[in-house]
Amino acid sequence: MSKEYKEGQRIHKFLPCPSYEISRVENWLSDLAEEGLLLTKDGIFAGVATFEFVGPRKVIYRLEAAEKNTSMWSDNGGEPDPEQIELSEKYSWEYIAKLKDFYIYRSTDPSARELNTDPEVQALALNAVKKRQRDAVISSVILFILYPIILTRGCLLMTTIAMGTWWSLLLLVFSVWMITADIKAFVHLKKVQKALMEEGGFQEPDSKKSAVPYVGKKIAVLLLGIVLLGALLRSWGISITNENKISLEDYAGEIPFATIRDFAGEGSNNYKVTMTGLSMGFNTVELKTDLLAPIWMDYNEHARVQKADGSYVDGGLYVEYCELKNSTLAEIFVSEMYRLDRIKRRAERIYPPVLAADEVIAYTDDVHFPNVIIRKGNIVIKASFHQVSESYTMPIEEWAEIICSKLK
- Asked if 97 contacts 44 with a C-beta cutoff of 8 angstroms, the reply is yes
Q: How many whole angstroms separate alpha carbon 274 and alpha carbon 256? A: 22
Dump the DSSP string for 269-319: EEEEE-S-SS-SSTTEEEEE--SS-SEEEEEEEEEEEE-TTS-EEEEEEEE
Number of Cβ within 10 Å of residue 213's Cβ equals 11
- Asked if 276 contacts 282 with a C-beta cutoff of 8 angstroms, the reply is yes
pLDDT in tens, the chain (408 residues): 445 788 889 999 999 999 999 989 999 999 999 999 999 999 999 889 999 999 899 999 999 988 888 777 777 777 888 888 988 998 899 999 999 999 999 999 988 888 777 777 778 778 889 899 999 899 989 888 887 788 778 888 998 888 889 888 888 888 898 899 999 999 999 988 888 887 777 777 665 666 778 888 888 888 888 887 777 676 665 555 556 788 898 888 899 999 999 999 988 899 999 987 666 778 999 999 999 999 999 999 999 999 998 888 999 999 999 999 999 999 999 999 999 999 988 889 999 999 999 999 999 988 888 999 999 999 999 999 999 877 778 999 999 999 999 997
pLDDT of residue 298: 94
pTM of the model: 0.74
Identify any residues that bridge with 296 across adjacent strands, giving them in sequence order.
288, 322
pLDDT of residue 4: 78
Extents of the domains making up the chain: 2-107, 119-240, 246-406
Distance of alpha carbon 266 from the chain centroid: 50
How many CA atoms does the CB half-sphere of 27 hold within 13 Å?
A: 14
pLDDT of residue 2: 47
Ramachandran class of 167: left when φ > 0, alpha when ψ lies in -120 to 50, beta otherwise: alpha
pLDDT of residue 195: 84
Identify any residues that bridge with 50 across adjacent strands, giving them in sequence order.
12
pLDDT of residue 277: 67
Which helix (H) or strand (E) segment holds residue 246: the answer is strand 246-247
